[in-house]
Structure formats: C-alpha cells, structure tokens
Chain A
C-alpha cells in the first residue's frame, strides 16, 4: 500500500515541489497550507508521516506539531520539519514541540525521501 504523506507549507512553490517529489517517489500526498488547515485535515488524512514547514501564518509549525501530539489518534505519527533554519535553537524548539526529525532546506528530493524512509516502516 502506498504510504500517505501530509505536507503543511504556506509556500505554493514548496507545496508543488513536495507534491511532485513525493508523487514521483510513489507516495500519496495530502497538502495543507498552514498549521490550522493541517490540524483540520489531520484525522481525515490519517497520514503515515507528516512533513511541515515552521514559518507559516495563522498557526506555525511548532503549534501544529503540538496540536498533532495532543491528538489521541494521531500523536504517534512521525513528523519531519522542513525548514531553512539549520541552527540548533530552531531544531531544538521543533523537537521540544514534538518533531521526529527535520529536513534542512534548500529542498532536495533525495534528502526528503531519505528522511521519510528513515522515520516510516
């Protein structure tokens, strides 16, 4: 069965790149534009893994991750943070919020797929 990925990113460019990359790699992709929408579609999407941006309007990545971790049905889903911020402080905050791992931008399809494979069975 195809693995399902939920991506949360406010940038149309990145959303499209994620979509193309993930589809090409044989994933089923569901997309949300910010944390609020991400939480809205979360249960319905029931993804195997989540890829989220940090800087987003309405609800940022930290808030979104916390939201997922508080959801009884979805809190065990691995979450990868997609961010340009490679510095330890941001990583740490993402981790404290409950992120599983991260992918440092610039966006690289291989790195993305690699990281997804690492956190999913």
Chain B
C-alpha cells in the first residue's frame, strides 16, 4: 500500500464521516441531546482533521480545526446547540464537504463563504469563552519591535555580534556540563515509563557519568515492589542544551522530580559532589549483544572490564525493570483482586456499550468492479440455465427423468445466487437523502423561505446504480418543491399555515420496487394556469376535457420545460420532463397528485435493481416481447361481448362494469398494419403512471420468467416504446416493453413519427 492508496481511503472515509456529521447535526437539530450524538459529530470532524493533517491538506485542516473547536464547546456543554448555532454548523458541514471535494478533485471552493463561516464559528466559540472567563485572553504579546536606531547623520549602526566568532570554533570550547537529579515516583513505572530507557536516551546526548542513590531501599521484608526507591545523579557533558535534556524526560516530567542545572565550567569535576565513584554509563546490555571492545585490550582484561561495566550498569539502571518484574510476580497477591474486579466490571460495561452500539455487523470493502463482474457472470448463468432447461425440455419431452429434478434445483439455486448477489449491491438510500437536506438548506436560504425536511425510510435498500442515478432527479424535484411548491412565510401565514414549510421525503419497499415520495405542504398546483399554459404551448386543444390528474401530469410534458419561467404557477414545469425521463430511464414511473392549498405529492416507483426483471413473455405479431410483471395487474381473455368500438378506431373493453381503453401493442409498435382481433388474443391489464388502467392486447402469453436486462441504448440505440432487451433461453433476443410509453402513445399524446419498430425489430 502506498500513500496514494491511503489517501484514497482517506477520502472514502471523509465521505462517511461527512454523512455521519450531517446526520448527527440533523439529529441535534431535531432536539436530540444525547451526548453520544454530539461525540459522534465531534469525532467526524476530528477524524477528517487528523487525516487531512497527515496529507498536508492545510485548508481542510484549518477549517476543520475551527469547526472542531466550536463543537468542543458544545461537547463540554459550554455552548447550547440551538437552532441558530446548528444553522451555522450545518453550513459549516457543507463547506467542509466542499473543501474535501476540492482537496480530492482539485478545483476551488467558495473562499468567501468558508471565511465567513470560520468567523461565525469562531464567534460562537469565543462568545462562550468570553462568558467562561471574565476577562478576554490578552492578545499574544507582540515581540518587542526594535526600531533601527537612526542617528543624526542618518547612518544606521551595523549590528555586530561576537557570537559569530564563537560559533566558528566550538571544538575549542569545553562542552557545558549539566548536573541532573532524577527521582522517579512510583507512578512513572505504573505508566509504563522506564528509568533505564530515559537514562539510555540521556546517554545519547553526550558523555555521561551516573550515580544511583539506593539509600531509600528498605530491607527485603519491608520492600513494596511497586514503589520507586532509587534516584539518580547524572553529570552530562553535552552541547545539545538543557531543552534537549528536558525533552528526554518529556513523558515523565510529572512523575518524577527532575533538577537540571548547568555546572558552569566543564572543567569542574562533578565527581566531587558525588559521594561515590561515578559509574560510566553503558546501556548496551539492553541489547543482547556483548559490549564491543574499547580499543585493543587483552581478551581477559576485556571480559573482566565488560563484567564490571555490566555489574555496575545493572545495579544502577536495572532496578526499574526489577521493580516491575517483582510487581508482576506479586500480581497474584490478594490486593490485586480489587483491580481485577474493576477490570472485569469495565469489560462488562464495555460489552454493554458494544451491544448498545446498534450491533454493528462486520463489513468488508470490495471493489465495485468485482461485484459488477460477479453480477454479469450471474446474469450469464441465469441465461445459460434457462437455455439448458429449454433444451432439456425439447429433448426429453416426457420430463420424468432425474435431469428435470436436477434442473429445477439448479433453477432455484441460480435464483438464490442472483438474489444474494443483488443484495451485495443493495445500499440504503440514506446518502442520497442526506445530500437532499443540504439542497433544501441552500434553496431555502436563497429564497428566504423557512423549510423543514423530514426524511423517512432512509435505510430502505436499493441497487447502487439506482441510488447513483437517483440523486439528480431528486435534487431537481427538491429544488422545485422548495422554490415553487412552498409559499413564502408571509403567504403561508396568510393562508393559516405555519411559517415553516415542510418537505417530506420518504422511501419504502412496495411489491418488489422502491417507492420514493416527495411531499410538500405548499400551495399545490394551480391547475387553471397549467392548463392555460398547455393550451398556449399547443400541448392540448383549447377545449380538451382533462381530468385534474391529467392536468397535473402535464407538468411532466417536454413542452413545459422550454417555456419561460413560470414561478407564479407553483411552477412545477421547469425541467420536470427531464426528471421524468431520468426516472423512466431507470425503469421507474413518476406521478403527481396535488391538492390546491395543501401541497403536492410526487411518487416515484423504481425497480430495486437494473440488472434483472421479472417479466411476462408474450407473442405479438410473431415477435417475442417481455412485459415487466410489475406493470401487469391481471390478464384476461376478452370476450366479443366485452369489446366496444369507440370513435373511429378506438376500442374499449368492459371489465367488471368499467371501461378500459384497449391498446393493440402490435399496432402501436407498427408490427402490423391493421388492428388484430381482440378475441383471438389476450389482454394484459396494466397500471400506468398516473394510475390509469389500460388493456394491452397481445397475441399470446408464453410464460413468466426472470430475464437479465441488456441495455438497448448501450448496444444499439434508444427505441421508443422499448425499455431494453434480453436474451431468452433459446438464445433469441426479446425486447422488453416500456409500458408507460406504449400507454402514452395510445392516448395519442406523444405519438411520434419515429415510433416505428419496423426499423428496430
């Protein structure tokens, strides 16, 4: 793993932390005062700052730092996270996200905005600081400015220092000698520090003489193994300065008495002050290697010297580890039981905490490519299994053999594998929903409206590709809902509503699809104006008789988006056709229901996956087509008496005392020139967007099966009326019907000349 990979991980993690941050802030906004929520928010910013620091992303670090400081005030209950505070924090979260993106992808950020927020955050933090400590912190003392002295003649004296000369010849100077008294306390060892190691580090600074004071050591029977009895007097010759010496004891300074004094002249023998002969300090015994020879000495002498050094060093420095070893052997003493009990209590409370942490299941991260490859392979497996089944059926007409049984099992297994693989890709819609809260905030800010976004069902799972493609249309719709759907606070108050508008975003599973609802409590659609606009734009005839629902659905019409701004008609028109197209491209449907004065509800229904589809395989004019099962309400065999002609070439079918338009699929797709006889075919009752029912006429039903979707756009080109293609068990290609487009075409609304399958089929 190299730094770039780690950086990649960092940005992934940032995304998660940002999501965590936002959801935490939103919880606080909803009045949640759980300290763990505040902690999680703080941790998110803290983590981002930590990682950013490691990669030198200074902008990110400095913003995160200010943010973190303010959050710390909240965490320590010094700042109440009221609505105003949270507003600033949510905005800061947005800026933090921008900065993260800028750090990853390059590009700039709105610097004025981040500077503004830094100010606001600091004001929040400082406002609190001022309260806490009566007097404001004095501004850091400015270094005394030495103004250059200019004398009467206008000359400036030249600064001159003798230090320069001294620096040139340090070798000639005697190195300063320090005397250090080091008295560890028992705590020093309890915290895992080691006198031995400290002395070792000290010895690296220069030439060192050391004396261990063991006077405090009691007799063995009175020795408490965890008490520090030894102290050291050290004389150290070094040019590194006192700071370097103190740095050695940086970790230990609270747990020891430390005196460092400069013995003015290096020539003065420090040994005079020491009651015993100084011991040359050699810690090489810490390594398991023998001490290296010091010059050329006879071997025996050398060994003896080594032994001497070793003894001395052990007596002087080894005590710390001895103490610890003793402590460890004494650890089974009954006194220790209380500590043990405390530890197990801690473990228990930790376990409880763990259980409370919503039982996080272990996860692994996998490259999306790998999952995609797996999904593709499973797709092929499904097709292959279907082809195998088919050829077995063809060659073994009796169907009694064990092969058939095995095939059935295979089919079931294939299905299970497929479901499991799809589940790998399934992700909660939460990240998309979270992004929406930012959009709402921004639009609300821009329009001066007060908006509350409520999200429900954030954990509803759907295929990742669906999620990825959902963000754009959803953003667009949210914008419209806030900008055009909700009224200004004044108008709302005048209408007897609360000043704050509500936008509710809901996700749920319904019959194998995900349904996303976007509801606002605004003014609803002004049908008169929409209708007028449609007439002006030649979308409908002036005398067209349209139901409310049909009028509402006009806003999805392409003709509406090209129109000039229609903000005064709670202008749903802007770009809604684009939204609709993207939803349809996902195999989804969208419709609207609106109550004047009470708001509008957009309902999107999307497939859970874009890879497979349960379909009904039908025959139309000798072509095999697949109709998505989700669209079909029921199938029926029309009787001659139930068919009624209507207008020039329209037909209706009466189903349980209600009439439903009959749509000849073969005719619509130009598979045949004239309408087929309904009695000879089968009618599929389908529910189209907007809730209207139509009966689709097909020649015959072949069966029902799961098909793997192959994009027509990617492999050929878009064909109106056709959603995609698939490969059947016999290896033939079948087209998957786009029911909504077919229904729309039957209404004659968007019958386009290119709507001809003769070319494509």
Interface residues of A (CB under 8 A from B): 10-14, 16-17, 19-20, 35-36, 39, 55-59, 63, 66-67, 69-73, 75-79, 84, 92, 95, 98-102, 105-107, 118-121
Contacts and interface: CB of A to CB of B under 8 A. Distances in A.
B230 to A, nearest CB: 17
B357 A58 contact: yes
Contacts of A20: 1-3, 6
Nearest to B16: A12
Contacts of B50: 11, 13-14, 84, 105-107
Interface stretch (B184-192, B449-457, B548-556, B696-704): B184-192
Contacts of A76: 189, 192, 324, 327-328
B251 A10 contact: no
Given A106-B50, A119-B251, A36 B354 contact: yes
B353 A59 contact: yes
Interface in B348-388: 350-351, 353-354, 357
B191 A95 contact: yes
B197 interface: yes
Contacts, number: 134
A67 B286 CA distance: 29
Nearest to A70: B343
Interface in B241-270: 250-251, 254
Nearest to A107: B54
B178 interface: no
Interface centre among B192, B254, B336 (most CB of A within 10 A): B192
Contact of B336 (A16, A72, A106): A72
Interface centre among A13, A36, A66 (most CB of B within 10 A): A13
Contact of B339 (A12, A17, A72, A101): A72
Interface stretch (B38-46, B135-143, B211-219, B500-508): B38-46
Contacts of A92: 254
Contact of A119 (B189, B197, B357): B197
Contact of A106 (B42, B53, B354): B53
A99 B357 CA distance: 26
A106 B39 CA distance: 21
Contact of B347 (A11, A19, A39, A119): A39
Contacts of B5: 16
B201 A118 contact: yes
B350 A36 contact: yes
Contacts of B250: 101
Contacts of B342: 70
A56 B192 CA distance: 22
Given A57-B43, A105-B53, A121 B343 contact: no
Contact of B197 (A12, A36, A84, A118): A118
Contact of A12 (B13, B196, B254): B13
Nearest to A36: B350
Contact of B350 (A35, A98, A106): A35
B49 interface: yes
Contact of B331 (A56, A69, A72): A72
A91 B347 CA distance: 24
A13 B13 CA distance: 7
B9 A120 contact: no
A16 B46 contact: no
B9 A12 contact: yes
